[in-house]
Structure 1
């Protein structure tokens, strides 16, 4: 009996030591796991209103005639009139592009009973595009296009030929906007940490949303609203 007691006691002591040590290890592991998963995910927003720096102003015009040659001559004359109007408005030739005139036979697919006047048989049309950074010059000239009608130019307003104002300098403001969105996200994380009795730690993961550019409103398309949203995962320290 005495020979078996001593080894049993030693074994019991070893088991107790092992359980205590294992318990401390498990507690430390649990604390490490909790710290690793104590985080908050927040979104940061940055917005900025910027003026457009590029205008695309198409002027589409057309004419009809009884012969192909006459239709071509008329559209060429109208193109010259439009170009003169644009020069007077302050635009130079490098800002003006003329598409190749297109001439079509309006009678081609119509039965004889539906054909109109022979003077309107051939239709010629073309587009003069102004591509310029002179935003204010475009806005000033647009209300004056009625002068072209008085000079014999038949303008064809169409959604396909609407004026566009663009902002093409995103790379210049992108770094600062990302910094603003990140600061906005950190402020949100600080508020969450304050409410939960924690402190904001390091960034664990971050993703940048895409930049969107839209008109400020339907009345001022020459002013753009640039917007970006970032998603950031912060560690929270006790």
Structure 2
């Protein structure tokens, strides 16, 4: 009787080990299947108009009389104000920087040619406005101020016009969704070609949003772009 019980116990242990081996082998196959993945990228792109323009109007004036120089600068500022008002630009969008004055006699080195004017002043009037088209129209007609005697600064790099787009947060959700959808489409095309099926997402990485000028001639038109990188599981 005891021998029979031992035999049954041994058989039970054996069958248990066989079953355990089967389960472990099956689990290993499933794990191996889940290791099959494909990594794809999805792009979302938008073309938008800038909603803010920053236009610095820099001008210069030279004189040997410092007091007169400041008076002339004040007159020039008023000419610019009047011009911008005429063009329909809100006065609250206009800010005035203090003039920067250089005394050339203080910079004169021995043997150098004496400057015709001792004092040189530069001042900047800045327009910060959401009225893009009004400002662009004013920029195109800026020669009208030149006809009134204003001399504009030649340092274009320091006083470049900037166009900004501030509505990115409103576009982000839809663009991320579009990028994810496009990535899924690429993964499904790959899976079809390899006779597989796309499973769940293993990991995903959202790229940074970039805002760039569409081209150098139209800086007020922006291209927004985001690329998402997504890794999917594949199964047969």
- The alignment's TM-score, normalised by the length of structure 1, stands at 0.89
Q: 1:12: how far off?
A: 8.1
- The size of the alignment, in residue pairs, is 234
1:176 aligned to which of 174, 177, 180 = 174
Q: Residue deviations 1:23-49, cap 9 Å, x none?
A: 313312212211331222111100110
SS of 1:90's partner is coil
Distance in 2 of aligned mates of 1:112 and 1:93: 47
Q: How does 1:217-228 map to 2 (within 5 A)?
A: 217-228=215-226
SS of 1:107's partner is helix
Distance in 2 of aligned mates of 1:115 and 1:76: 30
Greater Cα offset, 182-191 or 66-75: 66-75
Q: How does 1:28-43 map to 2 (within 5 A)?
A: 28-43=26-41
Matched residue, 1:167: 165
| Unaligned segments of structure 2, at least 5 residues | none
Distance in 2 of aligned mates of 1:76 and 1:112: 34
Q: 1:114: how far off?
A: 2.0
Matched residue, 1:127: 124
Distance in 2 of aligned mates of 1:112 and 1:75: 30
Distance in 1 of aligned mates of 2:146 and 2:184: 58
Contact 1:68–1:103 (8 Å) recurs in 2 = no
Root mean square deviation of aligned Cα: 2.2
Greater Cα offset, 13-22 or 212-221: 13-22
Contact 2:34–2:235 (8 Å) recurs in 1 = no
- The alignment's TM-score, normalised by the length of structure 2, stands at 0.90
SS of 1:113's partner is coil
Matched, 1:194 2:205: no
Q: Residue deviations 1:123-178, cap 9 Å, x none?
A: 11110111111111122121211111111111113211111111111011111111
Matched residue, 2:143: 146
